[in-house]
Structure 1
Amino acid sequence: MTAVAVIPAAHLPERTPERTKDKLLEAVKECDCATAQTLADKLNLSVPAIRRHLQDLQDAGHLDVRSEKPGGRGRPQHVYVLTEAGEATFPKAYASLCVDVLRHVDSLFGEGAVMRVLDARQLDLYETLAPLLSRHGDLGSKLEALAEALCQHGYAARAYQEGGQWYLSQRNCPAPAVAKAFPELCQTELNLYRELLGVPISREARLSCGAAECRYKVG
């Protein structure tokens, strides 16, 4: 009799909840009509199990549900769709697209064109942030308000004092590839902070140059 190899349970591939949720998001993205039944069939899971994962993803803000008639007829069904946060879990090529666009701006419109484009973007940011900072009187309060606003834009920023000196640090760069290819982006950022705070500001460290943070000495 031929011996049959038995694979220990510890070596069987695991279907972790996280991996199942990843595959579920992929299935929702691919499906024209992502009902619980359709998704359960696609992932070879029971409908109750799928519903639990769907609820978790709704609670996390990755999915939304709406009532639709498949093909425009019949009884309405609950159909799951990706939210903006759910879409953001999939790889994007925004940085490379932005770099390519700026390179074309540079080649088509000549020296200084990229800086003008970035200056226009920073002007939009100034018009958004200036009213927020105007509610605060002293430099420290303004700087803390600026850090809070930057966090909402993905900069992981904080304002702090050392020996009476104010600093602004940013532990994350939302567009590191762009900043590395076009240092002008960092320059317009520095200009923006000077205009918003109305005091001298110097950059002491920069993420795009290999530092652990972008650090600004303020005042």
Structure 2
Amino acid sequence: MKYVGEAPQEELATGEHPTRNRVARSILDHGPSTVSELAGRLGLTQAAVRRHLDALVADSVVEPREQRVYGSRGRGRPAKVFVLTDCGRDAFDQSYDQLAADALRWIARTAGGGERGEAAVAAFARARLADQSESYRRAVEQAEPARRTEALAEALSADGYAATARSAPNRQGEQLCQHHCPVAHVAEQFPQLCEAETESFSELLGTHVQRLATIAHGDGVCTTFIPRATATAEATATAETAATAETTDHASESTAGRNPE
């Protein structure tokens, strides 16, 4: 983090207020948060948190949203959560978004534009992730099978993605949540970056994964669903059983009405 005078740049962007900065930082690290969650994490009263949130909203650093609910929703209105705006993320992200976007546009044009250009950008995104994921691979391979998603989250956090792993609501797998994305602004224009990352996660974890939400598309957090190994095995077994049954049915149909030799 670069500093200007005595205060971090991120503090200057959030009103030069240390506690207010802690509120914004907590949202960055943990994703969309309610007043109650922020108060618990920071050891503040809910009234104090609301006061800081009001100031952050006025400064366009955070914004309120209705909490997303995966699966069945209970009674009552969804809780209000607070998420970082693009301006808020910029306060924590010293990236060269414009330079990166210009470079990718140049790659696309040089490749001929159109589908060729898109393919060239996709190839770049995959090559970038291949280099970046070597440290992730080591972390995942050294972890016990049950901790591999958590190990990947820790490795991603070391690269600034503020990632966490948790059980999915349906208990059929896990959710890998990235509460920050250093390249979100560029990924808005070039979704190949998100697609390459999803492919990389699938390859690292050795299973098909599903991207549920991305910061680049306006969500508060990038969320990837990783099915449990047993669930994947059950799905594979079901598919194989169905394929075998279909083959048997076709064989029966082809011999129907024939006299045995």
The TM tier, using the shorter chain, reads 0.5 to 0.7
1:147 to 146, 153, 177: 153
- Residue 208 of structure 2: aligned partner: 200
Q: CA deviation at 1:113?
A: 0.9
Cα contact 2:95–2:182 (8 A) shared by 1 = no
Equivalent residues in 2 for 1:39-118, closer than 5 Å: 94-110=96-112, 111=116, 112-118=119-125
Task: Name the SS of the counterpart of 1:131 in structure 2.
Answer: helix
Change (3 A) 1:216 1:93: closer
Aligned partners of 2:120 and 2:4: how far apart in 1? 45
User: How far did residue 208 of structure 1 move?
Assistant: 1.0
Residues 158-173 of structure 1: matches in 2 within 5 Å? 158-162=164-168, 163-164=170-171, 165-173=173-181
Q: In the alignment, is the contact (CA less than 8 A) between 2:161 and 2:182 conserved in 1?
A: yes
Count of aligned positions: 136
Please give the secondary structure, in 1, of the residue aligned with 2:142: coil
- For the residue of structure 2 that corresponds to 1:174, the secondary structure is coil
Q: Which shows bigger deviation, 89-98 or 201-210?
A: 89-98
Residue 177 (structure 1) aligns with: 185
User: Is the partner of 2:175 in helix, strand or coil?
Assistant: strand
Q: What RMSD over aligned residues (CA atoms) do the two structures have, in Å?
A: 2.5
Paired letter, 2:136: L
How far apart, in 1, do the equivalents of 2:215 and 2:94 lie?
Answer: 21
Instruction: Decide whether the 8 Å contact of 2:213 with 2:221 is kept in 1.
Output: yes
Q: TM-score, normalised by structure 1?
A: 0.57
* Cα distance in structure 1, aligned partners of 2:92 and 2:222: 27
The 1:93/1:166 distance shift into structure 2, 3 A limit, reads closer
State the distance in 1 between where 2:105 and 2:184 align.
16
Name structure 1 gaps, 5 residues minimum. 1-17, 23-88
Tell me the secondary structure at the aligned position of residue 217 of structure 1.
strand
- 1:95–1:129: structure 2 CA closer, same or farther, 3 Å change rule? same
TM-score by length of 2: 0.48
Cα distance in 2, alignment partners of residues 134 and 153 from structure 1: 18
Which residue pairs with 1:218 in the alignment? Answer: 226
> Does the 8 Å CA contact 2:211/2:223 hold for their aligned counterparts?
yes
Rate the CA distance shift 1:144–1:21 in 2: closer, same or farther, 3 A.
Answer: same
Q: Post-superposition shift, 1:119?
A: 1.1
- In 2, distance between residues paired with 1:145 and 1:151? 10
Paired with 1:19 and 1:95, the residues of 2 have a C-alpha distance of: 21
Mark the CA change 1:196 to 1:109 in structure 2 (over 3 Å): closer, same or farther. same
2:6 counterpart letter in structure 1: K
